[in-house]
């Protein structure tokens, strides 16, 4: 059991909570943490990865355009066979 006031505030397991009184909690420190500890933790937004994704998007768009052309040609071939 927490014996000091600060421990009661931290853990919230004081006898005050048992008798229905509000339990004091430590206030969160406002603002950003000191230093940017989350800056490049995973590498998702680094320049090489962004460039790679741009190249992949362009390649994918090209493949989609080629696929649409191929499908249109197949549809034309099927229509020509049915017309015979």
Instruction: Quote the DSSP letter at residue 40.
Output: T
End-to-end CA distance of the chain: 90
pLDDT (0 to 100) of residue 50 = 94
Alpha helices in the chain (DSSP H): 5-11, 15-18, 47-83
For residues 47 and 39, is the Cβ–Cβ distance under 8 A? no
How do residues 13-43 score in pLDDT, each as one tens digit?
556 566 777 777 777 777 766 777 766 677 8
**pTM score > 0.85 for this model?**
no
Residue 12 has pLDDT above 60, yes or no: no
């Amino acid at each position: 059991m927490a014996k000091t006031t600060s421990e009661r505030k931290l853990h919230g397991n004081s006898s005050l909570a048992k008798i229905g009184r509000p339990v004091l909690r430590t206030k969160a420190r406002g603002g950003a943490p000191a230093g940017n500890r989350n800056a490049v933790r995973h590498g998702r937004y680094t320049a090489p990865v962004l460039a790679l994704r741009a190249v992949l998007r362009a390649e994918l768009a090209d493949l989609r355009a080629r696929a649409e052309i191929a499908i249109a040609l197949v549809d034309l071939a099927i229509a020509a066979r049915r017309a015979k």
